[in-house]
Amino acid sequence: MKFYVAGKWQDRENVKELQGWLIEHGHSITVDWAEHEYSEDTDFLRRWAILDIQGATECDVLIALLERPHDYRGLWVEMGAAIAAGKKIWLVGHAGDSCIFLHHPSIAYHFRSVAVLKIIINPDSYRFIADVPTDES
């Protein structure tokens, strides 16, 4: 599947980690906005605004990371673009629960955490504690 992972700039390390995991499990990322450094250059910002919307509209699923209380801004725009393009949206976390658009029919799943999302995407990656080898095994 093709994913776009939306999140807050301050959480880009978590975005990178999830994107890496998705790639390791055979998926692709439409646009990796977390790769670039911060800039206030107008041309740079214009280019990335265009790329981010393309990523949100060309994915199969937009994953919105809402795990920590932030003033999310770009994420809402990206979600709106994905909704307008008819894409599925998977929410992770509850920081944005007061937003009316979390009730839109495009919201396919609402996960408690990234760990739960990973279990759903790749159940084989989940291991019960009893299955983990110990030093005595």
In angstroms, rounded to a whole number, what is the distance separating the alpha carbons of residues 68 and 123? 25
Task: Give the integer Cα–Cα distance in Å for 61 and 107.
Answer: 10
Instruction: Find the farthest-apart pair of alpha carbons in the chain and give their distance in angstroms, rounded.
Output: 60
Q: Is the dihedral of CA 18, 19, 20, 23 positive or negative?
A: positive
Residue pLDDT, tens place only, 78-123: 999 999 999 999 999 887 677 888 889 898 888 888 988 888 887 6
d(CA 34, CA 12): 5
Domains of the chain: 2-131 (3.40.50.450)
Residue-wise pLDDT tens digits, 30-75? 999 998 888 889 999 999 999 999 999 999 999 999 887 767 788 8
pTM of the model: 0.83
